[in-house]
Amino acid sequence: MPLSAALLQTLHSIVGDKGFTTNQGEIAPYLQESRNRFQGHCDILIRPKNTQEVAEVLAICNDENIPVVPQGGNTGHCGGAVPQGGILLNLSRLNKIRQLDGLNATITVDAGCILQNVQLTADKADLYFPLSLAAEGSCQIGGNLATNAGGIHVLRYGNMRDLTLGLEVVLPDGQIWDGLRALRKDNTGYDLKHLFIGSEGTLGVITGAVLKLFPKPKARACAFVASESPGHLMDVFAYMRDYFGEQLCAFEMMPRFGLDLVLKHITGTTDPFAIAYQWYGVLEISTSRPNTNLQTELEEALHPLFDRGYIQNAVVAQDLMQAEKIWALRESMSEAQKREGGSVKHDISVPVSHIPDFLAETSHAVCNVVPGSRICAFGHVGDGNIHFNISQPETMEKAAFLTNWEALNEIVHEMAEKYEGSFSAEHGVGQLKINEMDRFRGGVELDSMRLIKRAFDPNNIMNPGKVVKI
């Protein structure tokens, strides 16, 4: 149902010309989604410039039962910020760094701040904000919070949830909750911030946050290792975690097929080794203490792993440029896979101890259904998170392969469930996996979520059709 002219004018008057448009040409870029899987549509784009404007807009939408889809950098993979009607509420104009408290090691920011700006602001204050992911140059803190973003440093620093001390949230009825407390200990009733973090804009609009900062790492060392199997790689992980303890900050895995794709499609990449191996690991250690020997220590740590048979080859980066080259192999994986043709992607997690069995059984099951499927299972295995991506068989048409999307999803997600895992590790649910919620979180858990959704958003205006079906 189109909104009345009077209502449009009221909304327009709240946010002004800069914050309001119904021009589809201007709206179009905000409807694009990173993987082109969802086509959004909406009649109104609203871009408030502060929390108060968000509150006024929401109060009206709640009274009038107008759906509101909050949006940050719109870099998500699950269609969570893609509107299907209603108002698209883009937060990018809320982009102020409100405060940095060096002694307290906290930074208070608007939700629309770009992640990289927060990283850089911390860096200038000789501190460190550890959230790091591929989209960091364009994703926004509000989106990171709404999806509880992960990335490569979760192993040491935790998810976005773990990096957050306080929130400011506009509730569906337009009330503002000022929970911007910069406290590391605060036991005063139910922890509302954890309810909003990860709720993907279905319970309210996050407009500001207090984030934790850390001592800046003063030395890093990085290695690329080759192993016979995922089991051996997990042995390397266990050894390194015990050896380096708190200094182990990333442990990533990739298969030969993934490396092949990178070497084939990404200019300037080279194989660190003269011969091919089955599996590779990228690991990084860092310390906040000045240490010029970290590289040597890493080399020494790797040494006995040859004898034990955990690794077949290893290279430790000798300088920053070599480290960047190693990381580029890992970070180009998605792009390389895209260029290779159709792929069906997953973002699952299992307990670290189940990774080898999960990989073996799932790969087998996938190839049974689509013979010739090329498995590119890579990711943050140190925290159990695997992007179990499946590239089309070489001899198959892309379109034909993609007809198996649902069937492959089902296999991989059922297998994650069998191995006590999750069908969504770090990307969230959005529209993409809302049916999986019924399947794997149904019963008491989903019923409890519905209780919460109904209590906070009785008119179901907040990002309807995402996360939890009402």
In the list 52, 119, 269, 288, the residue contacting a second copy (rule: CB under 8 A) is: 288
If one asks whether residue 158 binds a second copy (CB under 8 A), the answer comes out as yes
* CA contacts within 13 A on the Cβ side of 401: 21
Phi, psi of 237, rounded to the nearest 5 degrees = -60, -50
If one asks whether residue 438 binds a second copy (CB under 8 A), the answer comes out as no
Cβ atoms of 451 and 203 closer than 8 Å? no
Task: Return the axis-axis angle of helices 444-456 and 434-441, rounded to nearest 10°.
Answer: 130
In the list 23, 245, 267, 395, the residue contacting a second copy (rule: CB under 8 A) is: 245
Distance between CA atoms of 184 and 125, rounded to whole angstroms? Answer: 20
- Kindly identify the residues of this chain, within the stretch 4-23, that bind a second copy according to CB under 8 A: none
Distance between CA atoms of 470 and 467, rounded to whole angstroms? Answer: 10
Distance between CA atoms of 390 and 210, rounded to whole angstroms? Answer: 38
For the record, the structure tokens of 292 come out as 């010029």
- Residue 48 or 430: the one with the smaller Cβ distance to a second copy is 430
- Kindly identify the residues of this chain, within the stretch 199-218, that bind a second copy according to CB under 8 A: 199, 203, 214-215, 217-218
Candidates 38-46, 157-165, 388-396, 401-409; binding stretch for a second copy (CB under 8 A): 157-165
Minimum Å distance from CB 132 to a second copy?
Answer: 15
Q: CB neighbours of 234 closer than 8 A, spacing ≥ 6?
A: 352, 353, 355, 356, 381
For the record, the structure tokens of 16 come out as 């002004």
Q: How far is CA 356 from CA 6, 230, 365, 445, in A?
A: 60, 5, 14, 28
- Residue 238 or 320: the one with the smaller Cβ distance to a second copy is 238
In the list 318, 353, 403, 435, the residue contacting a second copy (rule: CB under 8 A) is: 353
* CA contacts within 13 A on the Cβ side of 245: 2
Buried b / exposed e along 65-76 (16+ C-beta atoms within 10 A): ebbbbbbbbbbb
If one asks whether residue 422 binds a second copy (CB under 8 A), the answer comes out as yes
If one asks whether residue 241 binds a second copy (CB under 8 A), the answer comes out as yes
Candidates 33-41, 188-196, 252-260, 395-403; binding stretch for a second copy (CB under 8 A): 188-196
In the block, residue with structure tokens 């299992």: 350
Strand-strand pairing, 348-349 and 343-344 = unpaired
In the list 2, 25, 29, 189, the residue contacting a second copy (rule: CB under 8 A) is: 189
Cβ atoms of 327 and 224 closer than 8 Å? no
Per-residue contact track with a second copy, 32 to 71, x per CB under 8 A? Answer: ----------------------------------------
In the list 427, 461, 462, 463, the residue contacting a second copy (rule: CB under 8 A) is: 427
Strand-strand pairing, 374-378 and 127-128 = unpaired
In the list 26, 162, 300, 324, the residue contacting a second copy (rule: CB under 8 A) is: 162
In the list 107, 426, 431, 462, the residue contacting a second copy (rule: CB under 8 A) is: 426
- Residue 19 or 72: the one with the smaller Cβ distance to a second copy is 72
Minimum Å distance from CB 185 to a second copy?
Answer: 4
If one asks whether residue 445 binds a second copy (CB under 8 A), the answer comes out as yes
Cβ atoms of 338 and 392 closer than 8 Å? no
If one asks whether residue 421 binds a second copy (CB under 8 A), the answer comes out as yes
Neighbour count for residue 6 (Cβ, 10 Å): 8
If one asks whether residue 428 binds a second copy (CB under 8 A), the answer comes out as yes
If one asks whether residue 409 binds a second copy (CB under 8 A), the answer comes out as no
Per-residue contact track with a second copy, 364 to 403, x per CB under 8 A? Answer: ----------------x--xxx------------------
- DSSP 3-state assignment of 232? helix
- Kindly identify the residues of this chain, within the stretch 90-119, that bind a second copy according to CB under 8 A: 101-106
